[in-house]
A and B are shown apart, each in its own frame.
Chain A
């Protein structure tokens, strides 16, 4: 019975990715839900067994799978206006994001290179040893990275709303 179930799942996947007909939008949303659930379960398992690599691989595989499925959806109409909204939002996000990321990276590199801190005492008496900066902990770097991810999502969504409004996404129709 489990073998039959596995085979059924395999054939289902093949149908979705290769030989199936074009897909409707609602089916795609359903698949997103299933993938999110599966990823949540894998995240849970990864935390319990302390195997972060497993979740990392599963996350990338999930995103690639969703992209392949997305290509089969027939009722997502993307025209030049929606492409322009996406393009402008992505460009502005990148423009703001790289400044923040660059500032943090410079700080991190300064930390890695163990740059000393020149205190007032050092300038008054050059024989005093400069005080080195405390090294940033991995935990802090992780939190900052998470913060950057949130910032990127926040910026992209914000810019998307801005450009969608600008290019008449929610214009009322008098027809």
Chain B
């Protein structure tokens, strides 16, 4: 799963802390999502994209064949 959170943040001049506060998560979670360490739930993904006032597909994209969520 790839995302453009960093790009949208830069466009709206938001820090990770600002975005985290706005959607009710920790700054570490935003950082982990941006770095691809954590794949957000659908609910959180929608909240992030709605905060940027764009569709979810514009922020998150699914890469075929690349499994980002492993079971362990």
Contact = CB atoms under 8 A, between A and B. Distances in A.
Interface residues of A, number: 13
B26 A77 contact: yes
Contacts, number: 43
B35 A168 contact: yes
Report which residue of B15, B26, B29 has the largest number of chain A beta carbons within 10 angstroms of its beta carbon: B29
Interface residues of B, number: 16
B25 interface: yes
A81 interface: yes
Interface of B: 15-16, 24-26, 28-29, 31-32, 35, 37-38, 40-41, 43-44
B16 A79 contact: no
Given A167-B38, A173-B16, A175-B15, A79 B25 contact: yes
Most buried by A among B24, B28, B37, B41: B28
Interface of A: 77, 79-82, 84, 166-169, 171, 173, 175
